[in-house]
Amino acid sequence: MGTLLAAYLSVRMGAEIGFGLVLLVTLFMASVLGFLVAPHVMFALTIPLFALIPAAKLFVSPKVGPVKDLVSLAAIIAAAAVFSVERRPGRRHVLPDNKVLVAVAFILGLYMVNVGGGHDIAWAQGVRLIGEPLLLLVAGFILVDPRRTLRYAIPSLVATACFEATYGLFQQVVGPWWLRGWGYSFAHQLRTYNGHLRSFGTFDETFAYTAFLLFGLVAVIFWMRRGPLAAACGTLLTAGIVVGFVRTAILIFVALVGLWIGRKGNLTSALLVVAAAIAAAFAILVTSAGGSETTKYESRSSSLTLNGRTSAWKAALGDPSTWPLGRGVGIVGTAAQRAEVSLAPGASSGTQARAVDSGYLATIADVGFIGLAVLLALLGRLIGLATAAIRARRDAGWFALGLITVIMIDAVTRASFTGFPTAFLALPLIGVALASAKQIDRLEARDPTLRLRR
C-alpha cells in the first residue's frame, strides 16, 4: 500500500515534490505503524540503526542524519496514538507515571517559552535536542507490551555493543593513519590521549562510543544469565571501554560495581561505593567544569576556550540576574553549535557560538536553576520507580537503574541529556524497563501464582 501510494504521488506530483520525499513520507508512516503494531521489533532495529547512523553520514551521505529524527518522531506519534486510545473508558490504561509526565511537560514548557532568549534557529535546535529524548522516555512508558519490547531490545543492545567494541579494538590495531585513509578525519573522529588513539567505533567521537558500551555492560551485568556468554560479552565490552580512554568511564564503572554489590545483598557497601563515585563525578563538575576536550569557538571579538573552570561556569551562568531561568535556549551549548553549522558555507551569523560540555551546566544555561531542579526531580523520580521495581525483585528495575547511573555521571562532562545517541537510546530504554516492571506487577496481581522477574 505504501509503495503504491509513493508511486502514485510521484507520478501525479513528481515534478513538484520528487519521489525521494514521497518515499521518505512513506517510510515515516511505516515506522509509525511499526511502533504501533510491533514496538519490540522497532526498538530492536532502532538500536543498531542509531549506532550506525554516524558512520553512514560519513561513508554514505550526510543526508542520512535526519533519519534519527524521523524514527524518533514516529515513535512519539505512535505513543501519542496509544495514549489517546488508552484513556478511553474501559481500556487498560497503560500510562506513564504522572510525576514523570508533569516533570517532562514542565521542562519542555520552559524550553518552549524560553524566558532568557528569543525564538530563532538555535532555540529550535535546543527544543528539538531536549524534546525528542524526553518524549522518547514517555513513549517507552506508553507503547504496548513493554515486557516483550525489553526482551527484544536488550539482546539487540548487547549484540550491537559487542560489535562496537570489536570495531573499537580493530581501530587500535590498524592505527589512526590507516583510518585516515578510509575517510576519517583528525579534525573530527581521530583523537589521541597521551599518544594513544581513542577508539570511537562507528560514532563521531569516543565519548558516545564509550557511553554506548557502558549501556551494553549494564545489560550484561543486570540482565544476562551468568555463564560463558555473559563473561565473554562483559570482557569484550570492558576492553572496548578501556581503549576509549575516557576518564569518566572509570567512575561509571565503579558505580556499576557498587550496584552489582547491592544486587548481591550488601546494601551498605553498595551505597558507599556508589556515593563515592557520584561524589567524585560532581567534584569534577565543580573543580574543572568544561568537559573532556578543549574546544575553541570564535566569538565576535576573540576566541573563547571553554575547558577551564572559570570560563565554563561563566559561559553557563552569565549574569546573576539570569540564574533562575537561564540565559536562553541556544545561547551556549550544542544547540548554538548546530545553529552555526546549519548556516550556508561561508556565512557568518555574527553571534557567539560557545559550548559547555556538561549536561548540567548546559541545562542551567538554557533554562536556569529552576530547569535544572526540575530535571533533577525527574531523574530522582526515575530512580524512585527503578528502586520500587528492585524491591519487587524485578530485573528490569536493575537495568533501568544502571542506565540512569550511566547517563547521570556521564552528563557531568558531556551533554548526555541531549546527545545522540546517548539520550536517544538510554531514555526510551529506561521508560520501557520501568513500564515492563509495572506490567509484571499487573500480571502477578491478576494471577497470584505467577512469579516473574523479567
d(CA 300, CA 166): 44
Phi-psi region of 185 (alpha: psi -120 to 50; beta: other; left: phi over 0): beta
Q: How many CA atoms lie within 13 A of 15 on its CB side?
A: 1
CA 309 to chain centre: 26
Find, among 406, 428, 409, 431, the residue nearest to 217 by Cα: 406
Query: Quick one: DSSP state of residue 293?
Result: S
Query: Quick one: DSSP state of residue 104?
Result: H
Q: Which pLDDT score, from 0 to 100, does residue 192 have?
A: 83
Q: What is the pLDDT along the chain (454 residues), one digit of tens a residue?
A: 454 444 444 455 444 455 566 677 888 889 999 999 999 999 999 999 999 999 998 888 888 888 899 999 999 999 999 888 766 554 555 567 899 999 999 999 999 998 877 777 888 888 999 999 999 999 999 998 999 999 999 999 999 999 999 999 999 999 888 988 888 888 788 888 888 889 999 998 899 999 999 999 999 999 998 899 999 999 999 999 999 998 889 999 999 999 999 888 888 888 888 888 888 877 777 665 444 333 433 333 333 333 444 455 666 677 777 778 888 887 776 666 665 554 333 333 444 445 556 888 888 888 989 999 999 999 999 999 999 999 988 999 999 999 999 999 998 888 889 888 899 999 999 999 999 999 988 887 777 776 666 6
Q: Kindly write down the DSSP assignment for every residue of 209-241, as one continuous string.
A: HHHHHHHHHHHHHHTSPSSHHHHHHHHHHHHHH
Cell of 44: 530492536
Q: Kindly write down the DSSP assignment for every residue of 4-66, as one continuous string.
A: HHHHHHHHHHHHHHHHHHHHHHHHHHHHHHHHHH-HHHHHHHHHHHHHHHHHHHHHT-GGGTT
**Number of residues written out for the chain:** 454
The crossing angle, in degrees rounded to 10, of helices 359-391 and 422-446 is: 20
pTM metric for this prediction: 0.86
- Burial category of 379 from C-beta neighbours within 10 Å (exposed 0-12, middle 13-18, buried 19 and up): middle
d(CA 39, CA 80): 14
Cell of 265: 545483598
Q: Which pLDDT score, from 0 to 100, does residue 40 have?
A: 94
Q: Which pLDDT score, from 0 to 100, does residue 247 have?
A: 85
Find, among 357, 334, 330, the residue nearest to 411 by Cα: 357
d(CA 208, CA 368): 26
Task: Name 265's Cβ contacts closer than 8 Å, sequence gap at least 6.
Answer: none
d(CA 305, CA 293): 10
DSSP H or E run through 192: strand 192-193
| CA distances from residue 31 to 10, 27, 74, 129, 321 in whole angstroms, order as listed | 20, 6, 6, 20, 45
Q: Which pLDDT score, from 0 to 100, does residue 132 have?
A: 94
Query: Quick one: DSSP state of residue 189?
Result: T
Q: Kindly write down the DSSP assignment for every residue of 320-386, as one continuous string.
A: GGGTTT-S-TTSBSHHHHHHHHTSPTT----S--B----HHHHHHHHHHHHHHHHHHHHHHHHHHHH
